[in-house]
Amino acid sequence: MRILAAMAAATFLIAPVPEGHVVTLRIDTVAPGQPAKVDVKSSVPGLHLGSSSASASNQLSVNTPVSIVVDANVDGVMIDAQNGTAVRVSFEQGGSARELALKIVGSRMVLRRNMDGDLVPGSRMGGPGRD
């Protein structure tokens, strides 16, 4: 039994870490013409406003509609719309086929990198940038 546990642990340690890719997230409100203030956080600097040349940040407060570039080093993104406003998150430039197919709607959500390096909906437990 101990040997099996040791082998499983060794396999986990030598498994390759998924490489992420740069992707642009589009955030819009579900209700047309109703702008919302949205907080976007990550655990490491790697968020940029649209085509901004500003240095990477780990927290942005933006108004919808907005496009946010997520660097490849970011392993998770937390998105919180203020006042419980429902927002739609979609993938634009750099999105994989899986990411482009996602339909994500909510007022509080987390996207995490999966084994393929794609950002997919995940749990808020221990989320990036969590206070």
pLDDT in tens, 5-52: 444 444 444 445 557 889 999 999 999 888 999 999 999 999 999 766
Count up the domains in the chain and report the number: 1
Answer for the pair 96, 120: CB distance below 8 angstroms, yes or no.
Answer: no
> Which domain CATH number covers 117?
2.60.60
Q: Which residues contact 118 (CB under 8 A, 6 or more apart)?
A: 96, 98, 99
pTM exceeds 0.85, yes or no: no
Position 12 in a domain:
no
Which residues form the domain of 26?
19-121
